[in-house]
Each structure stands twice: as C-alpha cells, then as structure tokens.
Structure 1
Amino acid sequence: MGERSRRLILASRSAARRAMLTGAGVPFETQDAGVDEDAIKTRLTGIAPADLALELARAKALAVSGQHRDAWVLGSDQTLDLEGTMVSKAPDLEAARLRLLSMRGRTHHLNAAAALAHNGEVVWSGVDTARMTLRPFTDAFLDHYLAVEGEALLGSVGCYRLEGMGSQLFVRVEGDYFTVLGMPLWPVLDELRRAGVIAT
C-alpha cells in the first residue's frame, strides 16, 4: 500500500485523543474539523446521546475527508447522558461547579464515538458507553478540585479528567478506560488495521 494511502488525520483538537493515538504508536496528523456542533445538536434535537456522538464523529470525519480525499480521517466525539438528560461542556468554572454538584452521588453514561472516512465517505463508525458513578464528595473537596484543575476541566463534557485528579470524584467506573478518555480505541485500532493504515 502506498505512503499516501496510509496517511491518517485526526479531525480533533482533543489532547486526550492525540495522546491515545500517540501512546498506541499510531502515526497521524491533526486538523480541526471546524464543524458547527451546536447547529448539528439543534438539527438533531431529541436524538439519543449515543447516536448524537456518532453523528458528530461522522460529521468531523467527513468535513476533513472532503479536503484530503487521499487520507484516512478519524473523527471522534463524546456525549454525556445524566439520567436521560444530555449534558454539554461547561462554559466556565462556576458552571463546572454546578455541573459536578448536580452529578454528585449519581450515575451517568459517557458515550464515545468514532468514525473513519476515506475519499469523502464514512467507511466505519462505532460508539461505546461507560457507566460512571460519582461519589458523594464534600463541598470542600470540590473547591480544592476546581482550584487544582482550573480551566483545563472545561475541555471535558463531564468537567473531569479521569487520568488526573478527576479520578478522585468517582466511586465506580464500568466500561473501557479509553472510552472515558474520549474515543473507543480498540475498535478504532481494528479499523485502522483493516484499512492498512497500521500494521496487522
């Protein structure tokens, strides 16, 4: 397979997704998809959170694939379902505080989706879900957590990074670690092998 056909572009600004692929030894480039996520969410009002994650991942992959038709393009997205209510990223630390208070002692579902596009078409997509239960942490702990983590939390839909101090917020996590970080890595690696992007 030629060098150009092995080219992979991650259509994401996510540091966690970049770290996952780098850690797995997958060579890739990155490009922001420039997708209007709010417009897609508005158009798909009422869609199940897991299905929305898939639609956003597909939209990101297609947006970049249209510009680089020779490359394989990986789009990914994540949605949070809190007992039937879809939760979006917090705009500031006060909103993050309220978000975490609303989730304290409760269970939510974190959906991570990915889509692989080539020549302007989605050739594969998939979604995985983790079940996350926050412990009944104290207000004092929450204050400390927000002070330590700061605005870095705003990049995560749940206002936590499980790979950091956010791990202390939880009493139970059921599901794949990579799904929690933002991408269903095992299925993605399977598809990259199938496509010939990485070695079998």
Structure 2
Amino acid sequence: MKQTLILASGSPRRKELLQQLHIPFTVHVSTIEEIVNPSYTPSEVVMDLARQKAVDVASHHKEDIVLGADTVVVYGNRILGKPKTKQEAIETLTMLSGQKHQVLTGVAFVSNAKVHTFYEQTDVEFWPIEQDEIVQYVESGEPMDKAGSYGIQGLGAALVKKIEGDYFSVVGLPLSRTIRELKQYGFVY
C-alpha cells in the first residue's frame, strides 16, 4: 500500500521546497506547544522539535509518513528564535553583522510509530551591515517570522556573504538529504 506523505508544518517555504521536486504530499499543521529541553544541544533541540511536530500529526495519521521539521539559528551556542519585536530583530541582526553563525534544520519522519530523525548544519557568514540597512530590512517586515531575524530566500539574501553547507537547509528543509532519507525510510513517490 502506497503511503501518503504528510508535512507537519505550516511553513510556506517547506511547502514550496517539496512542491519544487513534485513530491505529492498533504499538509496537516501540528498544534502542539513546542517544548525545548534546556539541557539539549542545538542539534538535539531541532531534532526533538521536529519529532514533536511529526509525532503529534502522526497520532491522527497512523498509516502515513509524517514529516516534521524545525530550523534554528545559533550564534555562540545561543539559539536565536523568531523576533518578538522590531527592536529584537534589529538587535539580532546587529549582533550577526560581519559574523559567522550556524543554521540547523532538524527533520523527523514518523510512520507506524517508528521515528527517524536527523539534522543538517550550514554555516552562514554575514557582510558587515550598516545600521540604516538593518532598520530598512526590519521595516520590510521580512525578519519578523524568521529564526535569526532573516530570510535567505528573500531580501535577507543581501546580508549573506557566504554559506558553507546546504542552502535549502537554511531556507527550512535540507531537500537532497530529506529525499534520500525518505527513500531509505521506504517512501516511494
């Protein structure tokens, strides 16, 4: 029996990435409140958050493969979440200006109560950014729903000097590895 792939995320970027590869899937957004274990490393955090989302949705779709994902930005071992205010976004971008940071995306598959997780890490280096550029970018509204206060696939691309690793992981889903892991997990599309 062919399984359905279910994306346990409301992220438009993750949805676009899967559509880009013509992978058939449906979306069922997890409604759990994410719980971060403070003793976990950033890589453990992203895999656990992805797992939490996938397990939640899989509880309603036991015969299918559920894909959960989560992305965090890490600077100096500190996880930088989505900014709550414009001022917080300005502070985050000021801190990252001219610096290298890491973007980690955790991925989890759940099917028939089996759970498989992995993560990808990409190093991102920003150009030195003038304060007026930061304010203008924040005023665009783009940083407000993004981990680390920027979106590499949008206006935030102008901030990025270089990356080392998987670009798509920074966007929100390491496509190439996800496809390979899905195939090993038994998903056929």
Structure 1 unmatched runs, 5+ = none
Query: How far did 1:196 drift?
Result: 4.4
* 1:66/1:119 contact within 8 Å kept: no
1:18 equivalent to 2:15? Answer yes
2:26 alignment partner, one of 24, 29, 35: 29
1:143 equivalent to 2:135? Answer yes
Aligned to 2:143: 153
- SS across alignment from 2:148: coil
TM-score normalised to structure 2 length: 0.94
Distance 2:185 2:75 in 1: 35
Query: How far did 1:106 drift?
Result: 1.3
Distance 1:67 1:95 in 2: 37
* 2:137/2:143 contact within 8 Å kept: no
Distance 2:86 2:113 in 1: 38
Query: How far did 1:130 drift?
Result: 0.5
Structure 2 unmatched runs, 5+ = none
* 1:80/1:108 contact within 8 Å kept: yes
Aligned to 1:132: 124
Aligned to 2:67: 74
1:119 equivalent to 2:119? Answer no
Comparing 14-23 with 27-36, greater Cα deviation is found at: 27-36
1:65 equivalent to 2:58? Answer yes
* 1:74/1:116 contact within 8 Å kept: yes
Provide the identity percentage.
28
Deviations 1:87-115 (A, max 9, x none): 12111222111111111111111101101
TM-score normalised to structure 1 length: 0.89
2:83 is matched by which residue type in structure 1?
A: A
Query: How far did 1:195 drift?
Result: 4.0
- SS across alignment from 1:97: helix
